[in-house]
């Protein structure tokens, strides 16, 4: 084996090591600009507080006839400006004709009742299919993650919902987006994993 051959192989090996190291470095410093563009937001309603990381946007409040309080993200900004995206945060106080004595936010059976009620209000009909229906704990509170896909005219829309049972009511975090938007996957997981539940004053400031 000549010196030139040894030199060529050594050079090739050095180049291979450099390419591997360079590739690994790129993998380590990968940054998702959608996930890193989220802002911390806190909303409160009748004794319950929800903290979550959301895309930069305006937050519109509305009290429904049902008694639910809805916070809707509108006018998305930055990298989210032109995306087909919808986000709603809904707080519904517990309703019990006998008062709240029988309400237990940590009751697994009552969580199942909440999920059953949600599924009745969002039936799988006309192109809807279930992708996920799992139980989990969010900030020490019982929760459920429910994901549905709607298909119409070859277009698919994802309805991703996190239901969390707080002390005085239920929070629904609903994110709706096009199924062909994989760029949002990491950001949506970041939103849901950022959720924190707390208590707030029962009285509004004047």
d(C-alpha 91, C-alpha 46), whole Å: 9
Q: CA 72, 77, 79, 82 torsion: positive or negative?
A: positive
Q: Are strands 39-45 and 155-165 parallel, antiparallel or unpaired?
A: unpaired
pLDDT score at 98: 54
Rg (CA), the chain: 23
d(C-alpha 62, C-alpha 14), whole Å: 63
pLDDT score at 14: 52
What does the DSSP assignment read for 2-62?
Answer: -HHHHHHHHHHHHHHHHHHHHHHHHHHT---TTTTT-EEEEEEETTEEEEEEE-S-EEEEE
Q: Are strands 155-165 and 169-178 parallel, antiparallel or unpaired?
A: antiparallel
pLDDT score at 92: 96
pLDDT score at 12: 43
pLDDT score at 2: 45
pLDDT score at 69: 97
Q: CA 53, 59, 64, 67 torsion: positive or negative?
A: positive
pLDDT tens over the chain, length 206 residues: 444 433 434 444 454 444 444 444 444 445 778 888 999 999 999 999 999 999 999 999 999 999 999 999 999 999 999 899 999 999 999 976 555 568 999 999 999 999 999 999 988 888 889 999 999 999 999 999 999 999 988 889 999 999 999 999 999 999 999 988 778 889 999 999 999 999 997 765 43
pLDDT score at 180: 83
HSE-up of residue 139 (Cα within 13 Å, Cβ side): 19
């Amino acid at each position: 084996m000549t010196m030139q051959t040894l030199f060529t192989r050594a050079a090739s090996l050095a180049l291979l090591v450099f390419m591997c190291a360079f590739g690994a470095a790129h993998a380590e410093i990968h940054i998702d600009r959608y996930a890193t563009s989220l802002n911390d937001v806190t909303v409160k309603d009748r004794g319950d507080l929800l903290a979550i990381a959301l895309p930069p946007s305006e937050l519109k409040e509305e009290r429904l006839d049902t008694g639910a309080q809805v916070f809707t993200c509108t006018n998305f900004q930055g990298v989210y400006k032109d995306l087909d995206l919808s986000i709603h945060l809904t707080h519904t106080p517990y309703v019990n004709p006998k008062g709240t004595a029988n309400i237990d936010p940590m009751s697994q059976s009552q969580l199942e009742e909440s999920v059953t009620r949600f599924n009745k209000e969002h039936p799988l009909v006309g192109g809807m299919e279930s992708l996920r229906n799992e139980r989990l704990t969010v900030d020490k509170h019982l929760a459920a993650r429910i994901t549905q896909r709607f298909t119409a005219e070859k277009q698919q829309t994802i309805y991703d919902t996190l239901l969390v049972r707080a002390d005085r009511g239920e929070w629904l975090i609903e994110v709706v987006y096009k199924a062909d938007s994989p760029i949002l996957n990491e950001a949506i997981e970041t939103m849901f994993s950022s959720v924190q539940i707390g208590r707030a004053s029962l009285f509004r400031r004047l």
